[in-house]
Amino acid sequence: MPKKKIEDFKAEDNWRVFRIMAEFVEGFDELSKITPAVSIFGSARIKPGDKFYKVAEEIGRLLVKNGFAVITGGGPGLMEAANKGAYEEGGKSIGLNIEIPLEQKPNPYLTKYLSFRYFFARKVMFVKYATAFVILPGGFGTMDEFFESITLIQTKKINPFPVVLVDKNYWRGLIDWLSKEMVGRGYINKEDLKIFSIVDKPEEVVEKIVSYFKKNKS
């Protein structure tokens, strides 16, 4: 690479640092005012009318009734559903959008909206301001958030909080594999599987979060 292009590339890296800092500063400033909050994840491809859309909507509604704000990725599908439940219940409904090639448009049920260029900055916001994670059925992005949270808890990089998977049928194959392969081969401890829990109903999700919050409020 010519010397001039190398210098331009390095200069661009320097400016990228400032963009990253700006995302952290804005996120910290805006989200510090909304705790306690619950981050909810799930597929962006699920449409209104799907049973999981209704489940996510009810979870958002019940969380607001119990004093929690709701944070999602701000997009369609189960993110929209959770935001809708929170918004229609009159609560704080936050969307942390990500700029990607196939643009994810913010859903219409947000009381606060932040846009991120960098996935890692966005993920910090999900974790830092969450009292709990709720993980509904989804794809790679949902898996990423799930494993990010349990890895941080396992390695004691963050204080433990509830990580609640929704729908036993959807998660059964993954949990069986974790137990058979990861635990069986000694790659994780059996106790590590207790970092998260699995439920089916919105009421069960909220009960786990509320009871944990009451016990650990201090």
pLDDT tens by residue, 200-218: 999 999 999 999 988 876 5
pLDDT above 80 (res 148): yes
**Banded pLDDT at 7 (limits 50, 70, 90):** very low
Sign of CA dihedral 146, 147, 152, 153: positive
Report d(CA 36, CA 216) in Å as an integer: 12
pTM, rounded to two decimals:
0.88
Contact 146, 135 (CB under 8 A): yes
Give the domains, in start order, of the chain with CATH numbers. Answer: 29-215 (3.40.50.450)
Report d(CA 12, CA 198) in Å as an integer: 45
Lowest mean pLDDT of 9-23, 27-41, 141-155, name the range: 9-23
Q: What is the mean pLDDT of residues 34-57?
A: 94
pLDDT above 70 (res 9): no
Contact 168, 200 (CB under 8 A): yes
Place of tokens 């059996």: 190
pLDDT above 90 (res 21): no
Q: Which of 98, 148, 133, 149 is nearest to 119 (CA)?
A: 98
CA–chain centroid gap for 60, Å, is 13
What crossing angle do the helices spanning 51-65 and 202-215 adopt, rounded to 10°?
Answer: 30
Q: What is the mean pLDDT of residues 6-15?
A: 59
| Residue 214 confidence (pLDDT) | 83
pLDDT tens by residue, 155-204: 999 999 999 999 999 999 999 999 999 999 999 999 999 999 999 999 99
Output the average pLDDT for the chain. Answer: 90
**Banded pLDDT at 105 (limits 50, 70, 90):** confident
